[in-house]
Structure 1
Amino acid sequence: MRRFVYCKVVLTTSLVWVLVDVFLLLYFSECNKCDNKKDHSLLPVLRAVMSLTQVAPGEMGKAVIIPKEEQEKMKELFKINQFNLMASDMIALNRSLPDVRLDGCKTKTYPDDLPNTSIVIVFHNEAWSTLLRTIHSAINRSPRHLLLEILLVDDASERDFLKKKLEDYVATLEVPVRILRMEQRSGLIRARLRGAAATRGQVITFLDAHCECTVGWLEPLLARIKEDRRAVVCPIIDVISDETFEYMAGSDMTYGGFNWKLNFRWYPVPQREMDRRKGDRTLPVRSGSSGWMSSKISSTSSHQIRNVETNQCVDNMGRKENEKVGFFNCHGMGGNQVFSYTADKEIRTDDLCLDASRLNGPVVMLKCHHMKGNQMFEYDAERLTLLHVNSNQCLDMPSEEDKMVPTLRDCSGRRSQQWILRNMTLTV
């Protein structure tokens, strides 16, 4: 019995000394990063020690629950960035996350000579904790030789802490971080283009300002690009709750991609891809329309399709599959009036293509099938006509019977069959 008591004392003492050693190591390593050596704040090291024991708020991606007495304050702070800012500020900037990859993904190896990357992050009045957690996660979970730099593009933020305080903070990080400032609010695309133009890496990686990278996130993306420099790749994107900041793993049976308006969407993995991969879910998914766009991105442009006679535009009117395409006053704002004329001579709106199945029939929107046929339109840039190849008829303005739906008629060369495709593409 006495020997058992001695053993417990020895084990307890040893554990205490181990924790003290860890505490001291983390404490002095944190202090070595401080600009002001007199500022030996214990907060960073306390966060680090707590994260090791996985008891700090949000560690391992667990949900942060706000006490009832703080709920009203939480709701007020929620309005600032449209997420639970109180919960975010409670979480360490370098919090731990679970490794949810398939076992086969964890054991994959990649070439030593992968291209390096520049990460571009656009922000506007972003919260301090979410922006810095994004940066730290990218640095901590990227092989150092693959991460050349991070570019932060400030889209005219107004908050003081995103000025000099942010510049001073990122200057202490182990990866070069540059901040570019837009002179006026320009929007996500223009800000990303500004960042892309300033990059020095072999590959450009775009991240949102409130995301977190997990272990092993970068290597498979760069490996796909090493195989084909024309590829535009996208990982499985998991979810972080805007209310609790809980990390929730995404399904490998869906994939994230960009439609023809460059809006991000979720798509189910098609059966043809399941068959091609023969049950190996660690293989990359060829992403259908988005993958097609990736390899032929230079062959596609987005247009406003304006009728010469009426000066009105083709408009999808927010309608769905199997519904007729619309016709409305041109507004020049993109949106429902943006159509892509592809290298396969399809007229696309999102994942739907203009389709006509009968002579003199209305034009409807059906799922793009990439088989041409009823979805093939030839544009004559001199005559300004859109010839529906299967019917040998031309796209015409709406009829008197249905004044809101373009139709097909025998080609006659009249102005109602002339269409101007105004390019609306942003180019790099």
Structure 2
Amino acid sequence: MEKLKSGTLDGLHIRILICSLLYKDFLDYPKASIIIVFHNEAWSTLLRTLWSVINRSPKELIEEIILVDDASEREFLRKPLEEYLVKLPVKIKLIRSVSRIGLIKARLKGAEAASGEALTFLDAHCECTIGWLESLLAVIHKNKKTVACPVIDIIHDDTFAYIKSFELHWGAFNWNLQFRWYTLSTREMKRRKHDATQPFPSPAMAGGLFAIDRNYFFEIGSYDENMNVWGGENLEMSFRVWQCGGRIEIAPCSHVGHIFRKSSPYSFPGGITKTLFANLARVALVWLDEWSNFYFKYNEQARSMKEDQNVSSRMELKKRLKCRSFEWYLDNVWPQHFFPKDNRFFGRIKNIGEDRCLIKPERKGLTNQPMGVATLHRCVDEIIEEMFVMTSDGFIMTDDSVCLDAPEKPGIGPLRVRVIACSGFSRQKWEYDQNTQELKHTTNQKCLDIPLSKNISDGLIIADCDGKSSQKWDFQSVDWK
């Protein structure tokens, strides 16, 4: 525990000092109930979480710490834990579930028992840094309809070292409704150059670590009680908050480390389809409007659970809260999205000369986005990997926010085309001529082409336009609804 008391996060010290000046007048901030759910958590990681909260939070801002035990079986989490907790210098509530109820329902138990003005949720394998709590509560103090999230740093799952993460990301999701971190929009990047300490909006939240006004949490519908165990609850809350008049913001002055396990610690009663994909089916049915058809079309597991879901109570909540549409969400909260819309192309991009289709790379980058050289493969009937969107601005993008990207200036060797993270820069803008069927790079007016080697692994290039068949492309629209 001495390391926690003295501070172990040298890489964050400058940011912490700057942020501490911003949030020094915190006495009028709401007091927080800090809710931590655990199941068979290791003693060391649970105590690391607890002591980082105690040592790095202003005592005046902690109403209580609520531990919710989701039916742990380890003996040291029974009486030894109870005896240890009574010695801690803060108010602790320990709630035990006699049977496994899963993360979602366990968090609801904690929220219902909480007496603080704000609810702050943490996983049981975290480390909070100095300033983490007041930075979150400042967001709520400014606007009670805002959900505040920290920057989530990494605790190495082997060495348990604390590793500062890359901050220039916000939360979103792919076509399979899997949460992902994507690069911030260009507008937010520019805004952060002026003041990198200010909170910024995020289309979605990771869901494990956040703070919310207690009354607002219940007014907005808390959690969907018909969701089971874990999975999808973060997106359900993200859509609900944004579409029903609230906001989600990431507070850069709040850093919390988190252990990302190699495999899920959760068991799924009845299998993953009847839990995770049932949860995601509920999300789609309630919040995605016509885009739910798109989701179910390409996700067989969720589609198989669609008819089993009774979402009438959540639809009534949506109506009562006068929530906006998913289209409003895409247009206003996340206009950089890569989802299909009526005003943009969606479908396959086929090379006429080779009778092959453009395909999304398989290799994942550091951000878990598929990146690599742009390649073709034998066309298969409507598989999701060969679906692309072309926006009215000329960006050719696909699932996981990756775009067709080409050099703007000549270099040594062929000008190779890649599929990489969407940036919004001009090197990712294209023009398609329906008459000539040429796909031109907007900056240099060179055409998308196949190299002379015709080796698939060499990838695509851009070259001077000459009208040959390898430079002709057929944009084949696919009905996404």
TM-score (norm 2): 0.47
Residue aligning to 1:96: 7
Quote the offset at 1:174 in angstroms: 1.0
Residue aligning to 2:367: none
Residue aligning to 1:123: 38
- Structure 1 position 343 matched with structure 2 position 316: no
**Counterpart-to-counterpart distance in 2, 1:201 and 1:231:** 17
SS of residue in 2 equivalent to 1:189: helix
Quote the offset at 1:257 in angstroms: 6.6
Q: How has the CA–CA distance of structure 1 residues 327 and 215 changed in structure 2, closer, same or farther, with 3 Å as cutoff?
A: closer
SS of residue in 2 equivalent to 1:167: helix
For residues 16-38 of structure 1, the C-alpha deviation after alignment (integer angstroms, 9 at most, x for no partner) is xxxxxxxxxxxxxxxxxxxxxxx
Residue aligning to 2:57: 142
Aligned counterpart in structure 2 of residue 302 of structure 1, from 259, 264, 283: 283
Q: How has the CA–CA distance of structure 1 residues 276 and 185 changed in structure 2, closer, same or farther, with 3 Å as cutoff?
A: same
Aligned counterpart in structure 1 of residue 22 of structure 2, from 101, 108, 112: 108
SS of residue in 1 equivalent to 2:126: coil
The answer as to whether partners of 1:326 and 1:406 remain within 8 angstroms in 2 is no
Quote the offset at 1:361 in angstroms: 9.0
1:246-265 residue pairs with structure 2 within 5 A? 246-255=161-170, 264-265=179-180
Quote the offset at 1:285 in angstroms: 1.4
**Counterpart-to-counterpart distance in 2, 1:357 and 1:343:** 20
For residues 359-399 of structure 1, the C-alpha deviation after alignment (integer angstroms, 9 at most, x for no partner) is 99999987899x9xxxxxxxxxxxxxxxxxxxxxxxxxxxx
The answer as to whether partners of 2:27 and 2:60 remain within 8 angstroms in 1 is no
Q: How has the CA–CA distance of structure 1 residues 234 and 359 changed in structure 2, closer, same or farther, with 3 Å as cutoff?
A: closer
- Structure 1 position 332 matched with structure 2 position 278: no
Quote the offset at 1:106 in angstroms: 3.9
**Counterpart-to-counterpart distance in 2, 1:358 and 1:216:** 44
Q: How has the CA–CA distance of structure 1 residues 229 and 191 changed in structure 2, closer, same or farther, with 3 Å as cutoff?
A: same
**Counterpart-to-counterpart distance in 1, 2:127 and 2:59:** 17
Aligned counterpart in structure 2 of residue 201 of structure 1, from 113, 116, 130: 116
The answer as to whether partners of 2:344 and 2:389 remain within 8 angstroms in 1 is no
SS of residue in 2 equivalent to 1:105: helix
- Structure 1 position 226 matched with structure 2 position 141: yes
Quote the offset at 1:164 in angstroms: 1.2
1:356-367 residue pairs with structure 2 within 5 A? 356=342
The amino acid that maps onto 1:270 is S
Quote the offset at 1:357 in angstroms: 5.2
The amino acid that maps onto 2:22 is K
The answer as to whether partners of 1:230 and 1:294 remain within 8 angstroms in 2 is no
**Counterpart-to-counterpart distance in 1, 2:103 and 2:5:** 26
**Counterpart-to-counterpart distance in 2, 1:226 and 1:367:** 40
Residue aligning to 2:259: none
SS of residue in 1 equivalent to 2:130: coil
Q: How has the CA–CA distance of structure 1 residues 129 and 274 changed in structure 2, closer, same or farther, with 3 Å as cutoff?
A: same
**Counterpart-to-counterpart distance in 2, 1:224 and 1:288:** 16
- Identity percentage over the alignment? 42
**Counterpart-to-counterpart distance in 1, 2:32 and 2:93:** 14
Quote the offset at 1:190 in angstroms: 1.1
TM-score (norm 1): 0.53
**Counterpart-to-counterpart distance in 2, 1:357 and 1:326:** 24
User: Which fold has the larger relative contact order, with Cα–Cα distance below 8 Å and residues 6 or more apart in sequence?
Assistant: 2
Residue aligning to 1:175: 90
The answer as to whether partners of 2:243 and 2:324 remain within 8 angstroms in 1 is no
Name structure 2 gaps, 5 residues minimum.
206-236, 247-281, 287-291, 349-381, 394-477
The answer as to whether partners of 1:238 and 1:250 remain within 8 angstroms in 2 is yes
Quote the offset at 1:260 in angstroms: 11
The answer as to whether partners of 1:94 and 1:133 remain within 8 angstroms in 2 is no
The answer as to whether partners of 2:69 and 2:95 remain within 8 angstroms in 1 is yes
Residue aligning to 1:355: 341
The answer as to whether partners of 2:67 and 2:110 remain within 8 angstroms in 1 is yes
For the pair shown, the structure with the greater C-alpha radius of gyration is: 1
Quote the offset at 1:225 in angstroms: 0.4
Quote the offset at 1:242 in angstroms: 0.6
Residue aligning to 1:19: none
Quote the offset at 1:296 in angstroms: 3.0
The answer as to whether partners of 1:120 and 1:153 remain within 8 angstroms in 2 is yes
Between 1:262-271 and 1:121-130, the stretch displaced more is 262-271
Quote the offset at 1:273 in angstroms: 1.1
**Counterpart-to-counterpart distance in 2, 1:220 and 1:112:** 13
SS of residue in 1 equivalent to 2:68: strand
Name structure 1 gaps, 5 residues minimum.
1-47, 52-58, 60-92, 306-312, 318-323, 372-404, 409-428
**Counterpart-to-counterpart distance in 2, 1:368 and 1:299:** 30
Compute the RMSD of aligned alpha carbons.
4.3
SS of residue in 1 equivalent to 2:36: strand
1:353-392 residue pairs with structure 2 within 5 A? 353-356=339-342
The amino acid that maps onto 1:355 is K
**Counterpart-to-counterpart distance in 2, 1:223 and 1:120:** 18
SS of residue in 1 equivalent to 2:151: coil
1:49-88 residue pairs with structure 2 within 5 A? 51=2, 59=3
Q: How has the CA–CA distance of structure 1 residues 368 and 232 changed in structure 2, closer, same or farther, with 3 Å as cutoff?
A: farther
SS of residue in 2 equivalent to 1:218: helix
Q: How has the CA–CA distance of structure 1 residues 198 and 270 changed in structure 2, closer, same or farther, with 3 Å as cutoff?
A: same
For residues 125-177 of structure 1, the C-alpha deviation after alignment (integer angstroms, 9 at most, x for no partner) is 00011101100110111000101101111111111111111111111111111
